[in-house]
Amino acid sequence: MTYTVAVSGASGYAGGEILRLLASHPDIEIRTVTAHSNAGQPLIEHQPHLRSLAHLTLQDTTPEILAGHDVVFLALPHGQSGQYTDALGDVPLVVDAGADHRLTSQESWDAVYGGHFHEPWAYGVPELIVDGAKQRENLRTAKRIAAPGCNASTVSLSLVPGVAAGVIDASDIVSVLAVGPSGAGKSLKPHLLGSELLGTANPYAVGGTHRHIPEIQQALRGAGAADPRISFTPVLVPMARGILATSTAPIADGATDEQIRAAWQDAYGDETFVQLLPKGHFPRTADVLGANTALMGLAIDRVANRVTIVTAVDNLVKGTAGAAIQSMNLALGLPEGRALTVNGVAP
Ligand SMILES: NC(=O)c1ccc[n+]([C@@H]2O[C@H](COP(=O)([O-])OP(=O)(O)OC[C@H]3O[C@@H](n4cnc5c(N)ncnc54)[C@H](OP(=O)(O)O)[C@@H]3O)[C@@H](O)[C@H]2O)c1
């Protein structure tokens, strides 16, 4: 069977990456692409790398145009998806790359996003441990999927095994991330101009203000943390895409080195797209560019009495579009890794 697909936000970064990956999916026909200010223009003018989709024209994003497909992807600025999701009741599968359906707590939503609160959907990170099982089991029956925030899923995947196994203390987590500016989208913003970014590293949302913090706390609670607390500091660095997240947390009383490493090994040893590197090895963002892979290195620091986890992802693949398509594959009953690769583009 071939599934027909509409992708909204198709002129943007997340929508473009969803299209790039779907273009090589053998079970998918990309029928419709939509945008907002650029509606009416050829897709190829905004996504010149998507040569196989040169025949498509960006249409307006309306419920009528999105309806009638087997799968709809929404890749819109946060706060914009809800108006469409309410009107897409007849679409069998909707995957939202925005934040609108990620948070289960209205209080958290009000604190960091504001505006109308929409119902939470199945969270699109199959490898996360939630209530003692992998999230992929929930995705197999999902009709509505909330793809993750890129920073949030990177940090959550880094820490959840240690929380679930009880070998780290989730009340004192510190995460510092080097992030590429594509994570902020394609719309023009002065602080994202090349002249502001090249040759410099810029911290932002410092001091507990980043919107992804509640999403991470939600994942950590799902793994069993009663009151997770995280100091979270992203730093923009001059690479178009990629996240390198360094997270540390205190070692739980009595946890041995073997138990700590086993927590991550047991969680990810059978996974294709989340891989723990051998002891002493740490990832680079260059190793995961274009790949649906989260690569992780782990160190046990007995001087500071903390575990350090360094994780690299491509924010546009494992952080967004790859997670969305992996989740779609599960929901459609297709092989989970179809159209996704573990191999990065290097150098
Ligand atoms: N970038 C990432 O790494 C990343 C990672 C995880 C999640 N996400 C999420 O994915 C979503 C899209 O992000 P992005 O980075 O792709 O942003 P982007 O590059 O700025 O693209 C935004 C897209 O949404 C369209 N759009 C803007 N306002 C709209 C409206 N009112 N109605 C319909 N369409 C509208 C734009 O169309 P026009 O160009 O025609 O105006 C464009 O196609 C966001 O919610 C973001 O949080 C992004």
**pLDDT per position as a tens digit, 36-56:** 999 999 999 999 999 999 999
* pLDDT level of residue 197 (50, 70, 90 thresholds): very high
CA 88 to CA 263: how far, in whole Å? 41
Q: For atom 3 of ligand 1, which residue has the closest CA? A: 183
Determine the pLDDT at residue 135.
98
150 in catalytic set = yes
Task: For ligand 1, atom 34, name the residue with the nearest CA.
Answer: 36
Cα–Cα distance measured from residue 190 to residue 44, given in angstroms and rounded to the nearest whole number: 25
Catalytic residue, from 19, 56, 72, 150: name it: 150
Does this model's pTM top 0.95? My answer is yes
How sure is the predictor about 85, in pLDDT bands with cuts at 50, 70 and 90?
confident
Nearest CA-CA partner of 275 in 161, 122, 173, 148: 161
Confidence tier at 21 by pLDDT (50, 70, 90):
very high
The amino acid at 187: S
The whole-number average pLDDT for the span 308-325 is 98
Query: 137 or 347: whose pLDDT is higher?
Result: 137
Percent of the chain predicted with pLDDT > 90: 97
Which residues have a Cβ under 8 Å from the Cβ of 64 and sit 6 or more positions away? none
Report CA-CA distances (Å) from 114 to 108, 136, 210, 329.
Answer: 9, 29, 14, 31
Residues 317 and 17: beta-carbon distance below 8 Å: yes
98 Cα: distance to centroid of ligand 1 (angstroms): 8
Ligand 1 pocket test target in 76, 85, 182, 320 with most atoms within 8 Å of CB: 76
Vertex 311, ends 305 and 313: CA angle to 5°? 165
Sort 64 into a burial class: Cβ within 10 Å, 0-12 / 13-18 / 19+.
exposed
Residue 326 CB less than 6 A away from ligand 1: no
pLDDT at 346: 87
Please give the span between the terminal C-alpha atoms of the chain, in angstroms, as a whole number. Answer: 38
Q: In angstroms, rounded to a whole number, what is the distance separating the alpha carbons of residues 101 and 124?
A: 11
Using a 6 Å cutoff on CB, does residue 153 contact ligand 1?
A: no
Of the pLDDT bands very low, low, confident and very high (cuts 50, 70, 90), residue 68 is: very high
* 306-313 and 294-301 strand pairing: antiparallel
Give the pLDDT of residue 86. Answer: 80
| Mean pLDDT over each residue of the chain, to the nearest integer | 97
Residue written as tokens 């297709």? 334
- What is the pLDDT confidence band of residue 327, given thresholds at 50, 70 and 90? very high
Q: What is the mean pLDDT of residues 232-246?
A: 97
Does the beta carbon of 316 sit less than 6 angstroms from any atom of ligand 1?
A: yes
What length is written for the chain? 347
Q: Please indicate whether residue 35, judged by its CB atom, sits closer than 6 Å to ligand 1.
A: yes
* Per-residue pLDDT tens over the stretch 138-156: 999 999 999 999 999 999 9
